[in-house]
Structure 1
């Protein structure tokens, strides 16, 4: 409660200490600092480290005037990159981990549930894998955006998904973080298909699923957490334009406007609001 929030951000280095990062460099921050010594870290599952120190939770984050974090967690961004786009590196890193788990392959069908920033990045990653992609979101604005960034189809209801793919999808990626869509996810996977849950549901909330259906259709259900070893790759994919984040910037506001924006319902179709301090 005494820390300043903000884990999706980029900034300009004002003091790099005894490192090889130049002052004035623009960097993005991998917010998770694993201990490297626990059993999870030792077996390579760093995202499950119980001693993780997260920027924006355990130390002041991107909404602070100055943010201090280990140099090893800074990824230098090219000067020619739009500085607003650095804030997308962290969510893309998390999306990459989930899509790595799902392992979409060329020729497969991929259903992405949820038209937020994670879902729209998942659409692009699935297309890069050579899959046919369907975006399921109730927002007409996000349906249109999904089609614009590469989705083959974009619909607003389960029935519409079944009309397009009667047998279901090879891979279902749940990005909405809503109990109803988590429950729906395995039902929209084809027999022998896979489900990856990327959306975050509130702690303690329970979701009904049908194990009999998953058993007899041999549905694999996976969960994805944080961004192990993917932040550098995310930064590179945004920097070189492999992932297009420009359409995901819905509006730009000042730091003074941030509190109201965070506490208010988002406008229809909003994907991501970027906060820019006046002196940036």
Structure 2
């Protein structure tokens, strides 16, 4: 089969490799689409970051939708479209036994610690796959994993119906978080985004948009019930706390290494909360995301910038994402 292999930073090659071996209890799937994520881009530019040292070459890609070729368990018939689980824990630790595999100290993320979806075929555990309803296009279903990220983030917000929410960052994850928050009953969702193209997409989906680089716009609103921080930029936690009401919740969705400072006394006295989110679950968050996409509650059409073939991954995929900040999601069709 063909696969896009990451060797080191800025070194990705599309090569012929053996199709993965199907073992008992597993299923062989044909990959229909794989989205290129910001995490993949970080590995491409700077890796290994999350990829373990010495694991080169590896197949990236954790936002995927696939079709069953053969299922040794008989759970799914051949031809069934599914979302494979991308979060694999050890299965025996405290977190795994409580079905929080994403918090496992020995976590294997598909596409980061084990081979992922930038290939024609994968082997996956069918008992941890979520079926995609008939009629849902793979161009829509490929947004399941990032939508699940938004679902998990929204579920960390207390009393979301009727609340006011600020979303910092209007990229793919930010726009999905805004849509999920609205679907969950938020009364008002405001997206903060400086990029003009992203601003127009957010407005087109019915959201109020403000420019965080404009001091007058940043001072318009305070006292949000919750903030979903999706930008991952410097001082984003401090910004989130500044626009929260007393007792409000900041959910940190965007990834950024390093440290950040904020007024600890004010944080304590106002009883604000900071919550991290990173570990979505297949039967809760992925399943809910499939439902939101299948029902059209979450609109992904403005977010799909392009669908490319596997051979185009290094140039029209990663290099384009580096060069063009107006791009939202690039999906890969490994059959092309």
Please report the TM-score for the alignment, with normalisation by the length of structure 2: 0.77
Find the aligned partners of 1:56 and 1:19 in 2 and give their Cα distance: 25
Report the equivalent of 2:275.
222
Residue 11 to residue 44, structure 1, CA distance change in 2 (3 Å) = closer
How far the C-alpha of 1:23 sits from its partner, in A, is 0.9
Structure 1, unmatched stretches of 5+, are none
| Contact 1:119 1:176 survives alignment (8 Å) | yes
Residue aligned with 1:14, SS: strand
Q: In the alignment, is the contact (CA less than 8 A) between 2:119 and 2:334 conserved in 1?
A: no
> Which residue, 162, 174, 183 being the options, matches 2:238?
183
User: 1:46-94 deviations in whole A, cap 9, x for unaligned?
Assistant: 3211233322123321102211111122222123111111211111111
Matches within 5 A, 1:92-103: 92-103=147-158
Instruction: Provide the residue aligned with 1:138 in structure 2.
Output: 194
SS in 1 for 2:267: helix
What is the CA RMSD across the aligned residues, in angstroms? 1.9
Asked whether 1:79 is paired with 2:134, we answer yes
C-alpha distance 161-195 of structure 1, shift in aligned 2 (>3 A): farther
Please state how far the C-alpha of 1:160 moved relative to its aligned partner: 4.2
Cα distance in 1, alignment partners of residues 187 and 310 from structure 2: 39
Alpha-carbon distance, 1:31 to partner: 0.4
Tell me which residue corresponds to 2:166: 111
Contact conserved, 2:75 with 2:127, CA < 8 A, in 1? no
Aligned to 1:45: 100
Deviation at 1:249, TM superposition (A): 0.4
Match of 1:209 in 2: 262
Q: Contact conserved, 1:168 with 1:190, CA < 8 A, in 2? A: yes
In structure 2, relative to structure 1, the CA distance for the partners of 1:112 and 1:158 (3 Å cut) is: farther
Partners of 2:217 and 2:271 in 1: how far apart? 20
Q: Following the alignment from structure 2 to structure 1, what is the Cα–Cα distance between the partners of residues 209 and 254?
A: 21
How far, CA to CA, are the matches of 1:252 and 1:65 in structure 2?
15
Structure 2 CA distance, aligned partners of 1:46 and 1:148?
A: 37
- The question of whether the paired residues in 1 share the 8 Å contact of 2:165 and 2:224 is answered with yes
Name the counterpart of 1:33.
Answer: 88
Q: Secondary structure at the match of 1:47?
A: helix
- Per-residue deviation, residues 147-174 of structure 1 (Å, max 9, x unmatched): 2223133434363444431x33111110
The answer (yes or no) to whether the contact 1:162–1:168 under 8 Å persists in 2 is no
Unaligned runs of 5+ in 2: 1-55
Q: Higher relative contact order at CA 8 Å, sep ≥6: structure 1 or structure 2?
A: 2
Instruction: Report if aligned partners of 1:8, 1:91 keep a CA contact under 8 Å in 2.
Output: yes
- Equivalent residue number for residue 205 of structure 2: 149
- Following the alignment from structure 1 to structure 2, what is the Cα–Cα distance between the partners of residues 218 and 142? 33
Count residues with an aligned counterpart: 276
Q: Measured at CA, do residues 117 and 216 of structure 1 come closer, stay the same or move farther in structure 2, by a change above 3 Å?
A: same
Please say if residues 127 and 151 of structure 1, whose CA atoms lie closer than 8 Å, have aligned partners that are also in contact: no
Check the 8 A contact 1:5/1:60 in 2, yes or no.
yes
Partner of 1:276 in structure 2?
Answer: 333
Contact in 1 for aligned 2:227/2:251 (Cα 8 Å): yes
SS at match of 2:130: strand
Q: How far off its partner does 1:178 sit?
A: 1.6
Q: 103-112 or 171-180, which moves further after superposition?
A: 103-112
Q: Contact 1:123 / 1:150 at 8 angstroms: preserved in 2?
A: no
Larger proportion of strand: 2
* Higher alpha-carbon deviation: 156-165 or 207-216: 156-165
